[in-house]
Chains A and B, each alone.
Chain A
Amino acid sequence: MSMIETRTEPMVVNFGPHHPSMHGVLRLMVTLDGENVIDCEPVLGYLHRSMEKIAENRTVVQYLPYVTRWDYLATMFTEAITVNAPEKLADIPVPKRASYIRVIMLELSRIASHLLWLGPFLADIGAQTPFFYIFREREMIYDLFEAATGMRMMHNYFRIGGVAADLPYGWVDKCEDFCHYFLKKVDEYERLITDNPIFRKRVQGVGVLSREDAINWGMSGPMLRASGVKWDLRKVDHYECYDDFDWEVQWATDGDCFARYMVRVGEMRESAKIILQALKGLPGGPYENLEARRMAEGPKSEWNGFDYQFVSKKPSPTFKIPKGEHYVRVEAPKGELGVYIIGDDSPFPWRWKIRPPGFVNLQVLPQLVRGMKVADIMAILGSVDIIMGEVDR
């Protein structure tokens, strides 16, 4: 049977850098046939700030205030990897208490990052209201950060061998209150979003990434776990003290935008669980007890022990990164955040290569949007969760 065929000239449209739902300064050159996407090419480089080169001209302590600008929504992770890399290279021990504090901060940061993914993701598919709800909770996390570090967003809190300062009085209670409150709020999000038929229709079966493709493209984080790979560096690398806690890796098998949504929502709950356990098991307990007991018992107090310190030894500003090379990675909210470091026994790293999860996850975008509709570009891009700060660095 012969069919009448209508043909239109493909239309090339630039989405971004000025487009309202293009995260940061990403530019997508999209070839459209009417509403259908034929092809898509991401163009990067509008934000390039020579992060790696600058790192090679700074000592670690000098560079630390700058690293929170990689992924400015999951700031603690950039600091963690910046101190972890030289720590691993120089084999510096971390006190148990410092490690617990780090885990609490990292997981709070993970919640904040996932929250600020959830709002824009839903805004991308047209629902504006959750955007305001997520800020309600995120502000509280930032209040906690402010109380502990003095800054809301760009903290400069991690140090080689520990953290910059111990938790202030009352912080542990405040954080615990937040976790209980937050778990209820996640339920609220789920009631509002998860079973909404329009939301389901917009995200289920959209942007499907198979297990093989996810592995072959080098995906990590929720992108990988939503495609059926139970790969979480917190479980795989056994770093910090994650093995002390009882928690599950969140994963799904569908590999579509909905699976990624479910994985992230699940991770927020798991993070809250980890924080609650870490607060409970914090070596030395809340700060006021520790300090009071240390004062009362004098210099021979067991609380003067190594594991109850917040930092192993105050790092010298001219700390020399020993000769050698190492690749160190942490499980950031967006995936594997790694640093490949080469030291040559000087205060400056000889090479500082950042492996940002967003950059790697973004590669797969053209494959995911090909053959979909215009509206799906936003849903898929939203579900990939990129931050241009770390993609372009």
Chain B
Amino acid sequence: MSTGMDLQQSFVQWLEGLGLTPGVAKTLWMPLPMVAVLTFATLWALVATWLERKISAAVQQRIGPEYAGPLGMLIPLADVVKLLAKENVRPGKADRWLFTLGPVVVVMSVLLAYIIVPFGQHLVITDLGVGIFLWIALSSIAPIGLLMAGYGSNNKYSLLGGLRAAAQSISYEVPLALAVLAVAMMSNSLSTVDIVEQQTGYGILGWNVWRQPVGFVIFWIAALAECERLPFDLPEAEEELVAGYQTEYSAVNFMLFYAASYLNLVLSCLLVAVLYLGGWESPISIEALAAWLNLSLDNPLVQVIAAAIGITMVLIKAYFMLFLAILLRWTVPRVRIDQLLDLGWKFLLPVGLANLLITAALKLAFPAVFGG
């Protein structure tokens, strides 16, 4: 079954209509999604930094950025320009390769993971059979970059920060994977598109958050920890370790870390939307609406509108979660490293395992509801 638009097919068909061979047409298509992802992911991360300022200002009874553009919206761009213009300093006794490669590894691993985020049936770069597994695998590369940065900086604060980052990522990877596993089990697939497909058709009632409330909470906590957001921003821990692994970084390298951190946050929020909040599905299902309006789903106009609604829905859900994350950051204090590890290993892990077991049991007991 294939509903919705297939941009690749249309594009290739259009090029073939111009007289190109199918091979050339497909090659011409290939860079487009990558560029699109790079552009949009960066844009969303910039929006996230702007939101961070505005929401934190609202929380703290301040105004926040105001003069650069409407509501200070140009501030993120000014940041980028400033950081690009600054001198890129590398400490004399830092390890040249580790120091330089650290941020690159971190950013690359996050950016790569964007290829599995679906915005519609075919609005995804690649519909991999192992989509969500790929994300988990990729996200465990980032701590290596942090460790490289922390160790290569030749700074004690950075070393502690890098080690904390590694410890934290490793401990929260496990409950995260368990939470995702329960969803994958219900959807009978690791592909993000299938996971969303499985939630469609019943509007808001079909979303995984109702069937996986515990998993949703575990995933959210673990995702926050993976993104190093407060209350789990121990690797940076400005008040304790100055800035942890970032202490020695300036200019572009610093920007890469920051971009990675916000890209990662946006990505996590997008994945929460995909895994638990029905992805591109709107609260009232498009199919039901189309049937009610007596329109065929194959109607091109309906398809375009449906795709637009789908993209909007994913973004709205993701940014709602982002709002919660920012609000959380400016409300709670930071946990201590041993408390963080306790929470990960002694609470989230057993609860995650229990959740997985219960999901399996429910799947056997009620196959109709839990995707048997």
Contacts and interface: CB of A to CB of B under 8 A. Distances in A.
Nearest to A120: B239
Given A127-B331, A201-B339, A375 B237 contact: yes
Interface in B233-279: 233-234, 237-242
Question: What interface size band does chain B fall in?
Answer: 20 to 34
A393 B333 CA distance: 32
B61 A133 contact: yes
Interface stretch (A13-21, A99-107, A351-359): A13-21
Given A35-B338, A129-B59, A202 B333 contact: yes
Report which residue of B56, B156, B164 has the largest number of chain A beta carbons within 10 angstroms of its beta carbon: B156
Interface string A79-119: 00000000000000000000000000000000000000000
Contacts of B330: 128-129
Nearest to A197: B332
B230 interface: yes
Nearest to B59: A129
B364 to A, nearest CB: 36
B346 interface: no
Contact of A133 (B60, B237, B240, B337): B60
Majority SS at the chain A contact face: helix
Interface string B326-338: 0000111111111
Given A35-B160, A127-B331, A376 B60 contact: no
B157 interface: yes
B231 interface: yes
Given A125-B333, A127-B331, A373-B337, A132 B240 contact: no
Contact of A35 (B59, B230, B337): B337
A375 B164 CA distance: 12
Q: Which of B240, B241, B332, B334 has the most CB of A within 10 A?
A: B240
Nearest to B155: A13
B240 A375 contact: yes
B96 interface: no
A122 interface: yes
A374 B333 contact: no
A136 B61 contact: yes
Contacts of B163: 34
Interface size class of A (residues with CB under 8 A): 20 to 34
Nearest to A201: B339
B334 A126 contact: yes
Given A13-B156, A376-B336, A124 B239 contact: yes
Interface string B50-88: 000000100111100000000000000000000000000
Contact of B333 (A20, A126, A136): A126
Nearest to A196: B332
Given A126-B239, A127-B331, A373 B338 contact: yes
Given A21-B240, A374-B160, A378-B239, A127 B333 contact: yes
B242 A202 contact: no
A47 to B, nearest CB: 21
A373 B160 CA distance: 12
Contacts of A151: none
Contacts of A198: 231, 332-335
Contacts of A202: 333-336, 339
A199 B231 CA distance: 10
B333 A378 contact: no
B326 to A, nearest CB: 12
Given A20-B239, A129-B60, A375 B336 contact: yes
Nearest to A136: B61
A126 B330 CA distance: 9
Interface string A175-211: 0000000000000000010001011011000000000
Contacts of A43: none
Nearest to A382: B239
Contacts of B56: 128-129
Nearest to A132: B60
- Could you say which of B156, B330, B336, B338 has the most chain A C-beta atoms within 10 Å of its C-beta? B336
A364 interface: no
A380 to B, nearest CB: 12
A192 B60 CA distance: 12
Interface in A14-36: 19-21, 32, 34-35
- Output the residue of A32, A133, A201, A375 with the most chain B CB within 10 A: A375
A373 B59 contact: no
Nearest to A193: B333
Contact of B337 (A122, A126, A375): A375
Given A32-B160, A373-B336, 19 more contacts: A13-B157, A19-B242, A21-B240, A35-B338, A126-B231, A126-B233, A127-B331, A128-B330, A129-B56, A129-B60, A129-B330, A132-B62, A196-B333, A201-B335, A202-B334, A202-B335, A202-B339, A375-B240, A375-B336
9 contacts: A128-B330, A129-B330, A131-B60, A133-B60, A192-B331, A199-B333, A374-B241, A374-B337, A375-B237
Interface of A: 11, 13, 19-21, 32, 34-35, 122-129, 131-133, 136, 192, 196, 198-199, 201-202, 373-378
3 closest A-B pairs by CB: A126-B334, A132-B60, A127-B333
